[in-house]
Amino acid sequence: MTPLPCPHNMPNAATCVDCIEAGPVATPEQWTKVGAPFTAAFAGTCVGCDATEISPGQQVQRWDRGPNRTAYVHARCAP
């Protein structure tokens, strides 16, 4: 995560006691597309288009949000 700028003349919000007490000090992770679309081998649920089913043989896309969140959606969708 990227630290937010500090209005109290500190290097960034993560190093400022006033900013830390005020709330979140880092920008939230954004969804990032990983690789090219590929053909699904397994059934699943698309979180990009109101939880419709992904069937084997459909084109899907991998998206990551930070190191611990991954979503597989239809190639035309985004989480």
Give the mean pLDDT per block of 10 residues along the chain (79 residues).
74 81 74 95 90 92 89 93
Sign of CA dihedral 9, 10, 16, 21: positive
Q: What is the pLDDT of residue 1?
A: 58
Measure the CA angle with vertex 18, ends 16 and 23; round to 5°.
95
Which DSSP letter does residue 26 get? B
Residue 45: per-residue pLDDT: 93
What per-residue confidence (pLDDT) applies to 7?
A: 82
pTM of the model: 0.64
